Amino acid sequence: MKAAICTRYGSPDVLHITEVPRPVPKSNDLLIKVHAFAVHSGDRRMRSLDVPLLGKLPMRLAVGFKRPRQPILGAVLAGEVVEVGRDVKQFQVGDRVHALTGFGFGGYAEYACVSEKRCIAKMPQHASYTEAVCLPFGGTTSLHFFRKLQIDQMKTILIYGASGAVGTAAVQIAKAKGLQVTAVCSGRNTERVKALGADHVIDYTRDGYDGLLLKYDAVFDASGKINKTQAKRHVKQNGAFTSVAGQGVAKERKEDIHYLNKLFEAGRFRAVTTISVHLMKSSKRTVMSTPGENSVTSSF
């Protein structure tokens, strides 16, 4: 099968398309023919080892010193089940599924093995593979941090970085939970974020934009790039603030992907795709990069 392998840590040029053996499913695994995979900010950080200085050595020890031990990156995929292990109970051949593979990676390939115990679910009935692959990463990350904020007890939220993979999901989930949402993004993305349901959208490229912000029950930094001291000025007394920066990897929960599927099927959650890239069979090299926090979906 064809796969994009990571030969070392570095720029997108370290990724090469080559032939590798097709994986063989273990007893609890599904063998999935991959129709789409997502390339997001986490993939970029993994590929380039873009982590804080103190985190570089632990990361190398965890995933590979000179290069990833699993050379096929990609932690989000969507596809069709073509084979199941003998102990698989919840899925069968022919199921259309989407999944987070965690540090098992494997998504940048024509086929991947994923344990049914991981964060995997059948796709929403009317979703395309491109739509389905956009749901897990931003949605489950937002839900992870929303639990920290305890937003079910709140009425208003300010979301920084509202146009990225996590931010667009956060806006929609917050609206689905009944919160009034103020979103901060660049001017070129304001219409997109408004269309996702944000009640107020502030362009951070405008001088003095911070003066347009009020105080909110919750403040969520979905990009990890803002001034935390500045952000905390907009938290109400007894409110809460959290950021994706410096918080480690968001915990993957299977119930979260089922929740996102229900929102999608009810028309309350839209999959946001920044770029769709099709990797040609004749390609020997591919460049897969992510501008900021935006999602990129690709398929062989």
pLDDT in tens, the chain (300 residues): 999 988 888 888 888 899 999 999 999 999 999 999 988 777 777 787 777 776 777 767 777 778 888 899 999 999 999 999 999 999 999 999 999 998 889 999 999 999 999 999 999 999 999 999 999 999 999 999 999 999 999 999 999 999 998 999 999 999 999 999 999 999 999 999 999 999 999 999 999 999 999 999 999 999 988 888 989 999 999 999 999 987 777 888 999 999 999 999 999 999 887 654 444 443 444 434 343 344 445 555
Total-model pTM: 0.88
The span from the CA of 80 to the CA of 68, in Å, is: 26
- Whether 239 is covered by a domain: the verdict is yes
The answer on 180 and 197 residing in a single domain is yes
Q: Same domain, yes or no, for 183 and 213? A: yes
Same-domain check for residues 130 and 7: yes
CATH number at residue 181: 3.40.50.720
Query: Does 6 lie in the same domain as 131?
Result: yes
Count of all residues that appear for the chain in the document: 300
Residue 100 domain-assigned (yes or no): yes
Residues 277 and 159 in one domain: no
In a domain, 259, yes or no: no
If asked whether residues 131 and 141 sit together in one domain, one would say no
Strand partners for 4: 17
Q: Does any domain span residue 20? A: yes
Q: Does the residue 98 lie in any domain? A: yes
What are the angstrom distances between the C-alpha of 143 and each of 114, 245, 260? 22, 15, 10
Phi/psi of residue 135, each to 5°? -75, -45
Domain range for 236 is 137-243
Counting the structural domains of the chain, the total is: 2
Shared domain check, 291 and 196: no
Q: Which of 130, 127, 136, 201 lies closest to 163 in space, CA to CA?
A: 201
Determine, yes or no, domain membership for 285: yes
Same domain assignment for residues 97 and 141: no
Please tell me whether residues 123 and 188 are part of one structural domain: no
Q: 168 and 202, same structural domain?
A: yes
Q: CA–CA distance from 132 to each of 145, 231, 291 (Å)?
A: 21, 32, 21
Are residues 120 and 220 located together in one domain of the fold? no
Query: Going along the chain, which residue ranges are E strands?
Result: 2-6, 15-19, 29-39, 76-84, 96-100, 111-115, 119-122, 156-160, 180-185, 200-203, 216-221, 235-243, 275-278, 296-299
pLDDT at position 294:
40
pLDDT at residue 72, as a whole number: 93
Answer whether residue 266 is part of any domain: no
Does 103 lie in the same domain as 9? yes
Residue 254 placed within a domain: no
The CATH number given to whatever domain includes residue 129 is 3.90.180.10
